Amino acid sequence: MKSVVLIGGTFSNLVTSIELSETHHVMLIELNAEIGLPSISPGYIQNKELLIPYLTQKQIKFLQLHPFENGFTLRSEWGLKHLAVHAAQKGVEIFTRTRITH
């Protein structure tokens, strides 16, 4: 089994980690103490259906999606937390407060 290391607990890295967890050993490294720290602006997603494979209906409702121009705003910090839990349940190793140095 190949290993993959992803740097940063972003939406894209969390979704990627979930997808790769079936065929790879995945490690996700985050500089902050936790994934999903409060942000100054809400998240934005064009198609809320993209969340269905990764979050439960209860979690999606909790994100309080609101229509906005060409998509939806959402509580991004909670979206990240829910995705991090899903990734961990899939076997992704998540390391917080971790820096990469050379």
User: Mind listing the pLDDT tens digit for each residue in 57-74?
Assistant: 999 999 999 998 899 998
Could you write out the DSSP letters of every residue in 21-60? TTTEEEEEE-SSSSSS---SS-EEES-GGGGTTTS-HHHH
pLDDT for residue 101 is more than 90: no
User: Mind listing the pLDDT tens digit for each residue in 83-96?
Assistant: 999 999 999 999 99
The DSSP call for residue 71 is: E
